[in-house]
Amino acid sequence: MTADSPADAGWFAGLDPEDGEALAASIADGSAPEPADWPARAVEAGFASDDEEYYDRLEAATTAATREAVERAERADDRQLVHAVRTMDDCTRTANELAERLAEWAGTIDPDAGAGVDYARELAGEEGRVDHPRVRSLAERIDALADEAEALREYVERETPTVAPNLAALAGPVLAARLISLAGGLENLAKKPSGTVQVLGAEDALFAHLRGHASSPKHGIIYTHDAVRGTHPDERGSASRALAGKLAIAARVDHYSGERKPELEAELEERIETIQVRTADGEDDGNGGDGE
């Protein structure tokens, strides 16, 4: 709706009944502080000859607007997310590797040489700090790679909540995207049992265990979640199991229904609090399990 339309204008105000595109846009983007007797107003304004024609036009416009909005939402593709999060990790890893190489080389010519990506960024930002075109150029490339990783992280943080709203809310957008990436897509993740979700990213440890010369891994990539990291090591197995269970449910809801289920977050929070209380109280119930 345009800024100059009156505050009490209906979705059809000032529009041609034949202009489907403009009508759909008005349904999608318009607003009004209060409802009114729109069918009567539309007939008065000559938008429709009677209520029946008004409702026919309303049906066409709401259906078109809603269909377009749904299609736009569904183009938010989990494949895009998988590529983005993998590229983000590649950029970060490569920037770190090159930064090590740079530190080694620059150490021979810069008396104040530091280490890591931060040092590369310093070199790149400071004209004339080292008088060596190749070292300087390398530092600029590392700087740019680190920028790219940062931009990719922002993209992942923006897109994950659209692709997997519940998973993003529970795990945070970046961990959610990593889980989708490790599983090979949201559908694959939705089909995995929670025990598999629990050890995604710990495949080496899992196969060592399956070959019989290691204990089973307690957690994979979900280790980075506060629910696990913030829990006493003795109880991290329980925390990982509880978290993985909720994540598996969230992935299924996101894939099969797409509706938000805010209660998942509350349930997880409650469960983790219960688990953390065990060690906070200095109690040990001794059975190592949690009855699930």
The site for other proteins (CB under 8 A) is made up of 1, 9-11, 26-28, 30-39, 55-56, 58-59, 62-63, 65-67, 69-70, 73-74, 165, 257-263, 266-267, 270
16 or 56, CB closer to other proteins?
A: 56
Alpha-carbon span 219 to 244, nearest angstrom = 9
**Least distance (Å) from other proteins to the CB of residue 150?**
29
The residue (of 173 and 220) whose beta carbon lies closer to other proteins is 173
Nearer residue to other proteins within complex by CB, 236 or 255: 255
Q: How far apart are the first and last CA of the chain?
A: 54
Distance of closest approach, residue 170 Cβ to other proteins, in angstroms:
14
Give the 3-state secondary structure of residue 126: coil
Asked whether the beta carbons of 138 and 105 are under 8 A apart, the reply is: yes
Would you say 27 or 88 has its CB closer to other proteins?
Answer: 27
Q: Provide the CA 5 distance to its chain's centre, in angstroms.
A: 37
**Whole-number Å distance between alpha carbons of 205 and 213:** 10
b/e sequence 179-199, b meaning 16+ C-beta within 10 Å: bbbbbebbeebbebebebbbb
- Closest contact distance (angstroms) between CB of 284 and other proteins is 25
Min separation Cβ 193 and other proteins, Å: 23
